A and B are shown apart, each in its own frame.
Chain A
Amino acid sequence: MAVLSEELRKQIRDQFPKYPNKRAVVLPALHLVQDSLRHVSIEAVREIAELLELHPSEVHDTMSFYQFFKDEKHQLGKHRVWVCRSISCMLRGGEELLQHMCEKLHVHPGQTSADGKITMEFAECLGACEGAPCVLVDDEAHMNITPEKADELLKNL
């Protein structure tokens, strides 16, 4: 049975007119698949390749370059929570915040909470340095995060 639903396939095909070739749709396709399935399995890579008229190894070559995309061994939780560890956040407690949030969820960075809800990760500079330390929930930045605010954020996910 196919891994990609007809709806996902349609969303991927809808990207085609934006580019002069189908290979340029690799990143948009990987985003669509990962957003929906919370990982990109080898089978999904094969099906993306078929849609884009590429060899599966070409799609996998691209995918494996961006640590952002996860294979079936690294299934993501419902939400990804990233704590910035780069300079401006580090200077204002970013790493301590990461430790606090990992301890709260009993995970190491890269792992998902036992209830499957939250994958905790560290990030390099999130570009929200005026609000350091900063936390990204999926793709929304939350600024000036104290341990108390972090607890609140996690609770509401």
Chain B
Amino acid sequence: MTGIQRGGTAMDDLAPPAAGMNGALLSVRNLQTHFFSREGVVKAVDGVSFDIKPGEILGIAGESGCGKSVTSQSILRILPKNGKIVGGEILFQNEDRTVDLATEDADGRVLRDIRGKEIAMIFQEPMTAFSPVHSIGDQIIETIRIHQEVSKEEAHDQAVEMLRRVGMPNPARNIDEYTFNLSGGMRQRAMVALSLSCRPKLLIADEPTTAVDVTIQAQMLELLRDIQADLGMAIIMITHDLGVIAELTDRVMIMYLGKEVEHGTVEDVFHRPQHPYTRGLLASIPKMEPGRVEIEPIEGVVPNPYAMPTGCKFHTRCPDFIAGVCEKHDPPLTQVAKGHEVSCFLYGGRERLE
């Protein structure tokens, strides 16, 4: 495996955490996050591995139930009560130390120091990120002072500066406003300012443009691009919208039912999609191109999470289904080009089955 850094094979699991980060800021290896309920176990994330380097923008894309949001919640250890990381590693390069976020105490010192300071998150609905009874300034100042030893005045100045950076029209006044006084677009900007107030090394953006109008979405994407160029943090962009992925990210991982199906640069994945699911997804999106461009839906429905298909999770809907193989075995990740990997028996792995 040259050219890319990734873990996730059985041998890597035995290696000590610090080894093999290869300059990655975050290295998720064979992550398994399951949900336990009365009806059974849902394997929301079932063996996902990826790396992100400092300053890189990675997209994680897939439809509802693919596990993209659970992956991000696992990284920050903010899973709902019935969700548990049951396997794998989440290695984070914190200063000169490598921390395995998967095994740290979710409420412990290490994670509380990392959350908000080293790794920050923005959400779909900005109202959930803020308390409605405190001004946005007070909340940003609080965040800054939890993580940095600065005076109130200094924190205030930093907060104003951050609000200015995210394009608030009048930062000195906006800092005393409450979220309910702000319009949707301004709330989004305030949330970005809050999340970036401690200059995190990694920003996780979970569907930040899904609930907003297209002109506000364009503003938001421009803001993320500018601020990434400005502050140089890495971004994990989680979205179902492949247009947003194409617009913003360098690399993309496509997920289906808790599994990684394809991974590569956006150019590779969008221009040379290999996995039948990726091809199906791209073919089902109406295009903004002149003339009549037909769309082809993926047949069938996403399986019930309590009754997951055996073998390749996509085999029930796959147009290239190989009987006797796909429903029996898990397809391994196969490299089809440098830095472009697919988990599908069409591209190899069958010879290893016997």
Partners in one complex: no
